[in-house]
Structure 1
Amino acid sequence: MREVSTDVTSVQYAVLLVLEQRPGVSQRELGDELDLDRSTIAELAARMVRNGLVERISDPQDKRRNTLFLTTTGRELLAELKPRVGNVERVLTQQLSATERDTLRQLIDRLLIPLEP
């Protein structure tokens, strides 16, 4: 991830992507999505809140549930990082045909999908 950013880790980037796609997701759901335990996701969320990238809001119906949203700064950072990630992906896969790149992406996506019980 150093080629993309020296300040944002790959896990933080993944958090930004999830929150862009699922604003208001709970910390628990985010942890499940990224396969991180409760203490890790709580620490990660707290750090990203301190850095102004994420806003944490208590669910009005369940005060034990914290929901997460991207801040304007978080959205701007994600918009800045996405093209860099795309460039790295292009460099890493430049020796592959378009079909091979599609197949690789499909296989990676399958690996990242949580197993259904």
Structure 2
Amino acid sequence: MFNLEDCVCFISNKCNKEIIEAFNNSLLPYNITRPQWIAIYYIQKNESITQKQLSNLIDSKESTIVRLIDRMEKENLVERKKDPNDRRITMLCLTSKGKSTYNEILPISINFSKNIIKDIDENDLIIFKNVFNKILKNSKTL
């Protein structure tokens, strides 16, 4: 008989919600949201990036990214710049405040990641990641 509490989808969703809430709470004192942090992370990692590229990395709709970047631009975290080689392309770059926020939040993120997996054997983590990647791959074929 089917038991929802044993369903991988139910367990992973519940776990994901708890992790997101805990991470959001860790960001509250810094006046930044989790989506803003993720955008800042990817923009910093790539030095500059288009909204479409960011949308693909975050796996979010471009319209959602546009609204996110609009808010971040108002908060002086990012700026849009025309690509010098192709003025049709707009690149996203971190402002000095965005870079400062990256440097401030990165240790918080690293610490959170370490704490969320504490007391879990490294081999178990490898298996966990492999299994979740297979589940993700399977879900894309449904």
TM range (shorter): 0.7 to 0.9
Q: Does 1:16 align with 2:40?
A: yes
Write 1 or 2 for the structure with the bigger share of helix. Answer: 2
Relative contact order, higher structure (CA 8 A, sep 6+)? 1
Identical pairs, percent: 24
Query: Residue 47 of structure 2: SS of its match in structure 1?
Result: coil
| 2:77/2:97 contact within 8 Å kept | yes
RMSD, aligned CA: 2.4
Aligned ranges 1:92-107 → 2 under 5 Å: 92-101=116-125, 104=128
Moved over 3 A (4+): 60-64, 98-111
Letter in 1 for 2:95: T
Q: Structure 2: which 5+ residue stretches go unaligned?
A: 1-22
**TM-score, with structure 2 as normaliser:** 0.66
The TM-score, its normalising length taken from structure 1, stands at: 0.78
In structure 2, relative to structure 1, the CA distance for the partners of 1:97 and 1:29 (3 Å cut) is same
CA shift for structure 1 position 34: 0.9
Q: Which structure's CA Rg is the greater one?
A: 2
Q: Per-residue deviation at 1:55?
A: 0.9
Task: Identify the range of structure 1 (66-75 vs 54-63) with the bigger mean alpha-carbon deviation.
Answer: 54-63
Pick from 40, 49, 53: which aligns with 2:77? 53
